[in-house]
Chains A and B, each alone.
Chain A
Amino acid sequence: MFPYVPATDSDKRYMLDKLGLDDIEDLFKDIPDNIRLKTGLKLDQPKAELEVMSSLKELADQNLDASKAAVFLGAGAYDHYIPSVVKHLVSRSEFYTAYTPYQPEISQGTLQAIFEYQSMICALTGMDVSNASLYDGASALAEAALMAADATGRNKVLVSATVNPESLRVLKTYLNTKGIELMIIPMHDGVTDTEVLKDKAGSDTAAILIQSPNFLGYIEDLSEAEKAAHEHKALFVISVDPISLGILRTPAEWNADIAVGEGQSLGSPMSFGGPGLGFMACKSALVRRMPGRIIGQTRDINGKRGFVSTLQTREQHIRRDKATSNICSNQALNALAACIYLSTVGREGIKEIALQCWHKAHYAASAMTRTGRFSLAFDQPFFMEFPITSDLDPDVIQSSLLKNGIIGGLSLEKYYPELKNTILYCVTEKRTRLEIDTLCSVLEGLK
């Protein structure tokens, strides 16, 4: 007997008798004999709970996790604090063992939570409408590009080289397969080269895609990019860090048409890069071109408030090959986590968290650069990440930090060959002054 399969031998015998069959094999007679698996799968014997858990613990123990080390690594996945309530509430199995809310009358919990999530994404970004989630920030950026190409009927997308390289790779894959041209606008002094951008933008541009804070942590001045986009009737797409929006100017204030981003920071653990949360919000005029689910408020026949999936004629289960996207399963549980997280930290908390990230990152940057051996790669305003250059090999720095219980930043040369010996550090609100000081003293001690 297997704990997850309740049927006993006598149950099966009874059911087969009802069907007038001798053997369970009779049910598989439609599978032609020469493609039947005769030998059985070459997998291990079934394991008991205790054995499974010890196998998994053994694997987990081979990883250095954030409970055992101070993480100064960001670059798209972030070690923020997750309040206890988030995990407790997301772990309610009424939420996590439910399916996509196809029957709204018995899915009001999920539907209302997503509606509240949409409301809070709009509050953060300042945009008019949000969808119910996409896979991650990278695919959200790619979906925004496809949406812009569709909305403008144009076939060329301009993207800044300061966008997260993971997102850039995903964008390339999505656009390449669809035959949409992608032009990368170079970086200048750590931010998007707006002169090149203005030069390249034209009447064939579907969208301009920029990230701020950008991959290097720098806060971009988006006014020129916005002008370039709208002058040519292209869509302006901004990828943002939702935590930064506790204090920083919003995509709506930059007059973005579409705002996207990675929402893992909002209550989901890093989990080796997934599951995270892609969010997308846009101006009202674009809502019918949005990919994915959207939840709307309505009334039941007694006039009581309720929530349903709406504007579904955009979606694959209705429109098939004419749908705005193929997405079906999304990241609903991570959107729920974001909803609970944002409810928990609230109006004051999101500011305080963003401010602590700002202050701690700036303290760290100034402490690291104090002696002059380490310096900021560029002189630009940054939020909680910043690139530090020195004459030391990043691998040597990383291994020394690891010995001191610190997971250091990301070496940037792989992504930007011109940035030799440059490391991108991230300082979230979780880092303490002691951890920052330890990091600095290890760096100073290196020969």
Chain B
Amino acid sequence: MSYDRLIIECSKKGRRAYSLPRLDVPETALPDSLLRAEDAALPEVSEVDVVRHFTNLSQKNYAVDIGMYPLGSCTMKYNPKLNEDAASLPGFSDIHPLQPESTVQGALKLMHEMERMLCEITGMSAFSLQPAAGAQGEAVGLMIIKAYHLHKGDEKRNRIIVPDTAHGTNPASASMVGFKVTQVKSNEDGEIDLDDLKAALGEDVAGLMLTNPNTLGLFERNIELIAKLVHDCGGLLYYDGANANAIIGKARPGDMGFDVMHLNLHKTFSTPHGGGGPGSGPVGVVEKLKNFLPVPVVSKSNDKYYLDWDRPLSIGKVKAHYGNFGVVVRAYAYILSMGAEGLQKVSETAVLNANYMMHALKDLYELPYDRTCMHEFVLSRLKDNPENITTKQIAKRLLDYGLHPPTTYFPLIVREALMIEPTESESIESLDRYIDALISIAHEAVEAPELLKEAPHDTPVRLLDEMSAARTPVLKWND
């Protein structure tokens, strides 16, 4: 029987897990009118209870440190331990964001250097480290696009174009920034349909958001033409950096014609995903958009670093202070470790690993776009599938093999999609084990389909009732 307790169920009056120094100042009376009527009903547990509880919970998680985690477009690469140590240095973790600038020169220098390195890697002219995650980076990029057009006195541009392969955050970000969204189709090669794009372009278009390679793992070979079409109609080109792991050291968004972009430090630059954050989504821009970046900007004068708030064209602030600095420290350590040579090895190996897996699996699984992929590829249904096994069932069966499934049912244009991104972190042995599992599952689908239909069997909990969770929500322990 696996662990099944809530921390509140471990609570017993009189237990405690904390200690504070004795109060060493005289007390000051509190007016009753300011006070809450009842104590906050938090648990009362011992330190041993806390440690056992959360250690037990941790053991119910799958994680990169346990095994391969090939979620497409999520870049679940290994998170180097050195980076954790770096971010934990008190000189980084225990500094206050509003300390005098003279007392945080090292932190400001790190940010300044990081911006410079990201510019080199992407071909952009300037970066802001402020956005807390990819989606916030998208919103910032779109605000910059909006501010740029308005600054030019061009008030009619209220539309953003996204391809039908785009991440859900793209249209959601566009909408959050007050744009209308136009979706354009993909062609039979899995790339943007140029005719559809041309039809969508017009003088009300603010810009196009593009992931390249796209979420099918395919490089948009017409990128230069796409950039020209968008620019000719007065729009700007936004690069969604979610898939940048495919191209670092090989090609740069700035050279492809992109004007503004974000990177996900928690994908390409190895910072841990933390079970869903914190991330970091720095935004880079070309020269003409520099002045629109969020405030403050780290600047340098006479060998002193300072925060420049005097930026009249700036879109403002999207997050308190300067971004998820602790995440930036980790990514900075990663770039130092890898250097130019290492980053190039990253993209080469990530792409090689993906192609190796795709090649090994395409005999048994439908491969809707059969061409060289970049860092990820998208499979569809099983070729031999008399029992109509679904992608969800394949994914759940992978859990029984002790593996994390790929991204499923995305991108939306591929039926029953299985989107696989192995990353450069996986050895050939690890790739082979995953391939073998998917081959074995393909055989089970024909020979023992009930194994898939009832999966998972060996997980801490089995298939969960998501319908009733949404119908009668229980969102806290006393609901």
Contact = CB atoms under 8 A, between A and B. Distances in A.
A154 B475 CA distance: 28
A370 interface: no
Nearest to A11: B428
Contacts of B461: 104-105, 108, 300, 304-306
Contacts of A31: 219, 221, 247, 250-251
B352 A7 contact: yes
Contact of A96 (B34, B107, B221, B274): B274
A153 interface: no
Given A37-B255, A99-B74, A273-B97, A89 B54 contact: yes
B337 interface: yes
B228 interface: no
Interface string A4-19: 1111000110111011
B278 A331 contact: yes
B325 interface: yes
Interface stretch (A184-192, A202-210, A225-233, A288-296): A288-296
B121 A318 contact: no
Contacts of B168: 315-320, 323, 328
B96 A106 contact: no
A138 B270 CA distance: 27
A100 B396 CA distance: 17
Of listed B95, B359, B468, residue having the most chain A CB within 10 A: B95
Given A118-B476, A436-B25, A326 B44 contact: no
A279 interface: no
B346 interface: yes
A219 interface: yes
A9 to B, nearest CB: 11
A20 to B, nearest CB: 9
A137 B273 CA distance: 20
B91 A65 contact: yes
Contacts of A62: 91, 104-107, 109
Interface stretch (A193-201, A339-347, A371-379, A385-393): A339-347
Contact of A98 (B4, B62, B348): B62
A273 to B, nearest CB: 3
B308 to A, nearest CB: 14
Contact of B353 (A7, A73, A276): A7
B95 A66 contact: yes
B477 to A, nearest CB: 4
A275 B319 CA distance: 10
B320 A310 contact: no
A130 B479 CA distance: 12
A77 B34 contact: no
A172 B316 contact: yes
Nearest to B478: A119
A445 interface: no
A253 B35 CA distance: 10
B269 to A, nearest CB: 12
Contacts of B251: 28, 31, 35-37
A356 interface: yes
A12 B66 CA distance: 24
Interface in B383-397: 395-396
Given A46-B341, A101-B276, A63 B104 contact: yes
Contact of A43 (B66, B171, B335): B335
A45 B475 CA distance: 50
Interface stretch (B45-53, B197-205, B231-239): B45-53
Of listed A73, A130, A137, residue having the most chain B CB within 10 A: A73
Contacts of A253: 36-37
Interface residues of A, number: 205
A402 B272 CA distance: 35
Contacts of B138: 326
A132 B47 contact: no
A56 interface: yes
A178 B278 contact: no
B57 A112 contact: yes
B462 A32 contact: no
Contact of B61 (A34, A107, A301, A329): A107
Contacts of A30: 218-219, 221, 371-372, 374
A415 B111 CA distance: 25
Contacts of A315: 168
A100 B276 contact: yes
Nearest to B39: A347
A248 B40 CA distance: 10
B107 A59 contact: yes
Contacts of A12: 349, 352
B349 A7 contact: yes
Contacts of A362: 28
B110 interface: yes
Of listed A31, A71, A104, residue having the most chain B CB within 10 A: A31
A58 interface: yes
Interface string A325-362: 11111111110100110111111111111011011101
Of listed A174, A293, A316, residue having the most chain B CB within 10 A: A316
B272 A105 contact: no
A41 B347 CA distance: 13
A169 B424 CA distance: 40
A31 B55 CA distance: 46
Contacts of B462: 105, 300-302, 304
A407 interface: yes
A56 B45 contact: no
Interface stretch (B80-88, B282-290, B440-448): B80-88
Interface string B389-410: 0000001100100001101001
A123 B41 contact: yes
A356 to B, nearest CB: 6
Nearest to A57: B89
A135 B136 contact: yes
Contacts of B157: none
Nearest to B479: A297
Contacts of A342: 42
A28 B375 CA distance: 11
Contacts of A325: 172, 176
Given A63-B92, A356-B23, A11 B276 contact: no
B89 A56 contact: yes
Contacts of B106: 58-63
B261 to A, nearest CB: 14
B342 interface: yes
A124 B36 CA distance: 10
B317 A166 contact: yes
Nearest to B227: A35
B359 A53 contact: no
B17 interface: yes
B132 A89 contact: no
A265 interface: no
Contacts of B371: 30
Contact of A269 (B60, B93, B174): B93
A190 B138 CA distance: 37
A7 B353 CA distance: 9
Interface in A63-85: 63-68, 71, 73, 75-77, 79, 81, 83, 85
Contacts of B465: 298-301
Contacts of B460: 105-106, 108
A129 interface: yes
A425 interface: no
B65 interface: yes
B1 to A, nearest CB: 9
A49 B338 CA distance: 10
A240 B345 CA distance: 47
B356 A18 contact: yes
Interface string B1-42: 000101110010001111011011111101100111101111
Given A105-B456, A323-B175, 10 more contacts: A3-B80, A28-B250, A77-B96, A89-B55, A100-B275, A115-B476, A246-B40, A271-B94, A297-B477, A332-B275
12 contacts: A19-B356, A37-B252, A41-B340, A91-B84, A105-B460, A135-B132, A249-B35, A253-B37, A293-B276, A317-B410, A328-B134, A363-B26
